[in-house]
Structure 1
Amino acid sequence: MPELIPVRDFVANRGSNFGYRISPDGKKLAWIAVKGVSLHIFIKDLERDTTRTLPAGNFYGEFEWAQDSRRIIFARHQGDENMMYVTLDTEQPDDNPQVVFISPGHGVKAQFARTIPNDPAHVLIAHNQRDKTVFDLFRVNIDTFQQTLIAENPGNVSEWLTDPHGELKGRIVKQEDASALEFRQPDTASYQPLYRWSARDEVRFVSIADAGAKLYLLSNKNRDRLALIELATASGEEKLVYDAPLVDVSGIYAHPLTGEPLIASTEPGYPEAAILAPSLKASFGFLNNHPSARFDILGSDARFHRLTLASSTDKGTEWYLYDVERDRLEKLGATPSMAFRDTLADMTPIEIASRDNVTLRGYLTLPKGAPPGRLPMVLLVHGGPWWRDEWQYNSEVQFLANRGYAVLQINYRGSTGYGRRFQELAVGEFASKMHDDLLDGIKWAIDKGIADPDKIAIAGGSYGGYAALVGLAFTPETFACGIDLFGPTDLAKLVEDFPPYWKLEMNLWHRYVGDPGKPADRLAMQEKSPLYKADSITKPLLVIQGGRDVRVKPEQSIMLVNKLRQSGKTVDFWLVPDEGHGITHWPHRLEQFRRTEDFLSGCLGGRSGGFDFYQLGAWLF
């Protein structure tokens, strides 16, 4: 096998860089990278070929260029998911400029809507300061910080729809059993229903084009899979633009100035992209020349002449500056994993049949250089559960493979991306057929001679953490050990404690999992909750929980750990006070991976690098 890759190379690599964005005037390039031991924002003047850096501070997610091509906009939060948006002036002479808040402060969740091409002084932001359950839409002046109310939420609006020029054109309203897209009438500012669908349908807004005459949606209304449709806003006439034969259309990239759909993405196994705009088929031909890579457009200048792209594989990502007119790619950077790509394992799409003859898809990653059979294996379960595993670089998967484990990822029933029928097979099936799918994946790996039946661990975060606990509590004979990251232990209390702004999503949870307000549902939810099966947990267990988690409250993990310890059982529990629903800070990620490799080495016998000297630095942070 290849030499052990240090933990720090997976989670705290000083070569990390990402998020390349071209400014609207096309004269600057900005990205995030490590300088010293912390993230900084790098700004390159493309005309002068000079670069400066500014501290990113408590940076979260991606950033946007303001339309003045001077300021950038990004989000901050304290682990509680209450996003606050700030601007940073890239031309301030100070090397440590102050960020300026453009959305309300602590305790308010904001959502960035868009910049406005012809109005560089304003952006659109929605937030829940007035009512924690819903979001009002505001136009915010980033010079004066004054916010002007555009639309107040009457209590049932789940999304405001704006066109590329920042004009409010419509809204999506939700009732318990139905939703509707309502289009704004220009003369009266009232709303008229344009497109209706039931609670069982899924509809996603894509864009508005042709001066409001056309509207694009991803919809599975009257069909099994999500497809791209075009609506004529005057007549409501619907036209199919693009669909895929086996899976949902997972994403659409629309022209930032016109709203016209340009590229459709799908994930049947390896990622695929379809060019929708005939004018781009020649200049974007490189998309079809890399069948085993995913291309994503990160941003463009105001004229759509220069784009920043990401090209991703299971080994990492490379970033490019693309000149559309010249059809020329210029490499900008790469994830540090690309430096040791030859030692990383291959992620291979797989397809198996469940015990009730449902086709299950997923991915198998075998440790490079290991003997071909009877390997210790980690069943890594994705969260959601309305999510899916994809073919891409996954630091946790590659870390586990480098330690000597086969890694199996199963997109169990209920996972997104495979159509309505497949997702609805999960209704009422927590700790039942959803778990059977995972067990069927294990049986497949054992029957193929891939996995050692005595050395199988189950691990995951959120729903994946719940699945790990279900595995140890409901089918303890199958697993040697388990790792739970912020997984719910009491389903009824989980649903009762969801954040207030999930109000419009509760019908989904009630349908799939249960309504704790109904005695029969509550009893069924308790029967599927690991907390009430704790006596059956006998195998080694590692539990990791964020103290600021608002989705799965810390009490969920604390209750289970206390119950196990009161029964005299040993459980490794790490409560991280300043993390939320995910481990994001590099010192904590380092600790997470170190605990994981030592824990799995003890129960499965794989490799561990032992103490990583970056842990000394982590203690300082």
Structure 2
Amino acid sequence: MKRIFWLLVVIFAPLSNIALTSPLPVDAFANLPDVRFVTLSPDGTKIASLIRVNSNTLDGQMLSIRDINTNKDIFPVQTDNQKFVILSLTWASNDIILITAKYPATRRGVPTTEMRLMKYSLSDNKTSSVFSKRTFSRFVDVPQIQSSIVDYLDNDPDHILMQISGLGSKMQYESVIKVSLKSGGIKVKQHAQKYIENWLTDRQNQVRIGIYRDDTSYRIYEQQQADGDLRLLWEFEALDEDAIWPIGFDHDPNILYVNAYHQGLKAIFKVNLTDANLAKELVYQNENYDVEGQLIYSNLKQKVIGIDTNIEGEFLFWDNDYIKLNNGLNDALPESHNVINQLSDNERRYLVYSTGPIESGTYFYGDRDKGALYPIAYRYSQLPPEVLAKPKKVNYSARDGLAIEAFLTTPKDKEAKNLPTIIFPHGGPISYDSTTFDYWSQFFANRGYAVLQMNFRGSAGYGFQFMNSGLKNWGLEMQNDIEDGAHWLVQQGITDPKRMCIVGASYGGYAALMGVAKTPDLYKCAISIAGVTDLESLVKSSRNYDNSKIVKKQIGDDYDDLYQRSPISMAASIKVPVLLIHGTKDRVVKADHSEAMYDELHELNKPVKYVALENGDHYLSNNEHRLTTFIEIERFLAANLGVK
């Protein structure tokens, strides 16, 4: 097995050759991951992954497939991440890999993100759409989303179940189709039903659960078989505490696992669908945080063996065999969060992703028969633990007494005193930060800055009340929570108050601009990457999409008030330099936001720079765009905070 020790040797550099001096090259942090989407074939003999490539002919990524038995590699697919971006890789069988990709487009004048599912066949050495050309003639309208897999049909490797719109009299809603991975032909298994936007199968591959949405109202329906009589299980409003979300079945087709609130925090339950009262039996909860995630199901044992809790990469097993395996991994890799993210069909071979505060990510290949674990790929080969700064969890109180959890990263081997500082609120805003590896904060710390990432009210993970307190709160208490974190750092003596900048992306970009608008003397500069600058425009533009009423429920619908809580309305208050960075094909927050903000600041003779990333998306998916962004940020911070 030693022959697979360096599985993707093309991307590796020996750790001993990596300079441990500070600062590291910008591209050590800014480059796309060296490897991702590492996935194991069902028989455990092949490993596919997406690797980063920088050559004379390609600056992008390519699909790599290694045959463990022959030690040979092939590289059948490549992309520069401009024409299209690969989002995932999955083995449908030992011969076929499914590739999910996206690309920007426009439909009837509305900017869209198109999603497609491709397949690569090893035996044919061919990449193509999962659908044949003849199949598309059956669609009334070509669907925007052509990548939603409902069931991989483990016992039928030649087919998958997908959900897709564009078929039949209810073409705007989702049908479930059986797709032949050989011919590309389809057969409708579940006809579309009005307002049902998602379908869920049981372990016997029957279409059992339909998730209905009409504006902000949700209903969960159950049926005994496809196109059967629908029985209403639960109904609730978006973002309400009584929401109950199905996450999967046990082998028993009557046992459904759900995610719902318990004592104010999300937890995992199971429900017997034959129970008239639909009583929820608590399976797993965390006393301090929400629990969400996916079921871990063993086809070999034909039962649910645990859950991926999404808490710091934590897996919870309740089957003794996997408890022992997980404990062994944690003993072998005690400083990391270790996630078994795939098992072979016989469950003797597996993949592990190991990460942590100063572990940028390592993939391991495990062999249970040999009791061996082999490192096969580093996610960021230039960022071994020795060069990273360890973040720590901190807590402070907002001005109204609310407890805020935050994460502080300070430069490695430097006293946390009177430091230049980056206030770095996350995007979302219903998202969260943690102590797990973050290439942004590590980049800032490597450049000599302290970094504070706070989970302000409205963040995910802290229960219903905490999340709910952020609704329609942009620019208000949510913004105060961020500001209070900055003041706390100064009070603790960690931050030099004359050298503090606020930086963020998406919602974080909004918060950065609001920070220098509402408190013009607190920060010395602001950086907004793909940030929202006009809440009125953001909400109004959602009219073109089917989630517009949910957007209004989250952000608000009083347009005068929204405009007043927008950075663009407060541009005259900004006194410090501003850097705006935005992809021209951003489909989440249109580049119009940064362009309008630049025009407003420029007209007011404010110090502002705008960097347009041509053909860039919301996520800096292109390597050149990432490098440009980080280089511009480094220069801007150095110029305004006086750090060499």
Q: Does the TM-score normalized on the shorter chain lie above 0.5?
A: yes
Identify which range, 288-297 or 305-314, moves more after superposition.
288-297
Query: Which amino acid in the other structure matches residue 409 of structure 1?
Result: Q
Match of 2:51 among 33, 57, 61: 33
1:300 matches 2:300? no
1:205 matches 2:237? no
CA offset at residue 421 of structure 1? Answer: 1.1
Match of 2:117 among 80, 85, 92: 85
Match of 1:380 among 403, 407, 424: 424
1:601 matches 2:638? yes
In 2, Cα distance between the equivalents of 1:355 and 1:462?
A: 25
1:55 matches 2:77? yes
Structure 1 residue runs of 5 or longer lacking an equivalent are 516-520, 608-621
Q: Residue in 2 aligned with 1:71?
A: 96
Distance 1:510 1:327, change over 3 A: farther
Match of 2:224 among 177, 181, 185: 185
CA offset at residue 9 of structure 1? Answer: 1.7
Listed as ranges, the matches of 1:470-619 within 5 Å are 470-498=514-542, 500=544, 503=546, 505-515=547-557, 521-607=558-644
Q: Residue in 2 aligned with 1:410?
A: 454
Query: Which amino acid in the other structure matches residue 41 of structure 2?
Result: S
Distance 1:561 1:132, change over 3 A: farther
Cα-to-partner distance string for 1:267-290 (whole Å, 9 max, x where unaligned):
3xx664432334422222235535
8 Å CA contact 2:393–2:408 kept in 1: the answer is: yes
8 Å CA contact 1:82–1:106 kept in 2: the answer is: no
Match of 1:368 among 406, 409, 412: 412
In 2, Cα distance between the equivalents of 1:499 and 1:84?
A: 25
Distance 1:88 1:24, change over 3 A: same
In 1, Cα distance between the equivalents of 2:543 and 2:367?
A: 44
Q: Residue in 1 aligned with 2:256?
A: 215
8 Å CA contact 1:273–1:287 kept in 2: the answer is: no
Cα-to-partner distance string for 1:464-495 (whole Å, 9 max, x where unaligned):
11111111212211111111111111112212
Aligned residue for 1:454, secondary structure, equals: strand
Q: Residue in 1 aligned with 2:9?
A: none
CA offset at residue 292 of structure 1? Answer: 4.4
1:6 matches 2:25? yes
Listed as ranges, the matches of 1:158-307 within 5 Å are 158-176=197-215, 178-186=217-225, 189-199=228-238, 200-201=240-241, 202-220=243-261, 223-235=263-275, 236-255=278-297, 257=299, 258=302, 260-265=304-309, 267=311, 272-286=314-328, 288-289=330-331, 292-307=335-350
| Number of equivalent positions | 592
Listed as ranges, the matches of 1:383-402 within 5 Å are 383-402=427-446
Distance 1:39 1:421, change over 3 A: same
In 2, Cα distance between the equivalents of 1:548 and 1:135?
A: 27
Identify which range, 353-362 or 108-117, moves more after superposition.
108-117
In 2, Cα distance between the equivalents of 1:494 and 1:471?
A: 19
Q: Residue in 1 aligned with 2:379?
A: 335
Identify which range, 120-129 or 340-349, moves more after superposition.
120-129
8 Å CA contact 2:50–2:63 kept in 1: the answer is: yes
Q: Residue in 2 aligned with 1:614?
A: none
In 1, Cα distance between the equivalents of 2:162 and 2:627?
A: 34
Distance 1:369 1:564, change over 3 A: same
8 Å CA contact 2:513–2:526 kept in 1: the answer is: yes
Distance 1:286 1:112, change over 3 A: farther
Identify which range, 157-166 or 366-375, moves more after superposition.
157-166
In 2, Cα distance between the equivalents of 1:493 and 1:442?
A: 29
Aligned residue for 1:498, secondary structure, equals: helix
Cα-to-partner distance string for 1:1-37 (whole Å, 9 max, x where unaligned):
9421111222337x81222211112221212223553
8 Å CA contact 1:460–1:485 kept in 2: the answer is: yes
Listed as ranges, the matches of 1:447-458 within 5 Å are 447-458=491-502
In 2, Cα distance between the equivalents of 1:569 and 1:188?
A: 61
CA offset at residue 392 of structure 1? Answer: 1.8
RMSD of aligned C-alpha atoms?
2.6
% identical equivalent positions: 24
Query: Which amino acid in the other structure matches residue 121 of structure 1?
Result: D
Distance 1:193 1:463, change over 3 A: same
In 2, Cα distance between the equivalents of 1:137 and 1:227?
A: 29
Distance 1:328 1:233, change over 3 A: farther
Q: Residue in 1 aligned with 2:8?
A: none
Listed as ranges, the matches of 1:354-365 within 5 Å are 354-365=398-409
CA offset at residue 84 of structure 1? Answer: 1.0
CA offset at residue 458 of structure 1? Answer: 0.9
Query: Which amino acid in the other structure matches residue 224 of structure 1?
Result: G
Cα-to-partner distance string for 1:207-240 (whole Å, 9 max, x where unaligned):
11224121111211x6311101001122223210
Distance 1:59 1:99, change over 3 A: farther
Identify which range, 315-324 or 127-136, moves more after superposition.
127-136
8 Å CA contact 2:174–2:193 kept in 1: the answer is: no
Aligned residue for 2:113, secondary structure, equals: coil
1:140 matches 2:206? no
Query: Which amino acid in the other structure matches residue 595 of structure 1?
Result: E
- TM norm structure 2: 0.86
Distance 1:305 1:204, change over 3 A: farther
1:119 matches 2:156? yes
